[in-house]
Amino acid sequence: MPKFAAHCSQMNKQLIVFIGGPGTGKTTLIEELLAQGYCCYPEISRQVTLEARKQGIEQLFLEKPLLFSELLLEGRINQYKTALEEKHEWVFIDRGIPDVLAYMHYIGDSYPTHFDAACKAHTYTKIFILPPWEEIYESDEARYESFEQAALIHEHLVETYQQYGYTLIEVPKVSLPDRIAFVLQTLLE
């Protein structure tokens, strides 16, 4: 558990984050957990991207990466605060606040110091990482990265989360039911 995460566990609330490069199955896991009645928070980057498109910006992350990242940071902080208020003991979240920094590292951009402060102030109980998996990777209108780029993003995610003291739990490349079983069993241990 990271040194900053004590307040989450003191409240007996577990904020559980799924991370990984694009196309690794995070959304599929979240959707299945939601279907099984678990409290889940979706990835918000697609929402930010779609809002930008309505304003005429086709790829906000590519055209204005700092603005995109500021919007993601704000949205993920709001998700975090809302998740703390949930009545459920386990809250599953598709991507966490350090993802914002990992993507900024990936594109080589700098960011304001409040990004780092947000990562330290808003911590999670457990981080599950889904590794690159070429057999399931698909691109779509919001996922423009190649599989090779997704694998590089994975490396930046690992480095960034470890920088904040997290121990990453790798989800095996198995069927969806087996992935769900792995996650739930790990949480019960």
Q: Tell me the pLDDT band of 184, cut-offs 50, 70 and 90.
A: very high
Q: Which amino acid is at 35?
A: A
What's the average model confidence in pLDDT over 163-176?
96
pLDDT tens column, 6-60: 334 435 789 999 999 888 999 999 999 999 999 999 998 877 777 777 777 666 6
Q: Report the predicted TM-score, pTM, of the whole model to 2 decimal places.
A: 0.85
Closest C-alpha among 166, 88, 82 to residue 129: 166
pLDDT tens digit string along 115-155? Answer: 999 999 999 999 999 999 878 867 765 556 777 888 889 99
Cα–Cα distance, 47 to 27 (Å, whole number) = 14
Condensed to tens digits (0 to 9), the pLDDT of residues 95-115 reads: 999 999 998 899 888 888 999
Residues 156-189: b if buried by 16+ CB within 10 A, e if exposed: bbbebbeebebeeeebebeeeeebbebbeeebee
The pLDDT of residue 30: 96
| Strand partners of residue 18 | 94, 128
How far apart are the C-alpha atoms of 17 and 89, rounded to whole Å?
14
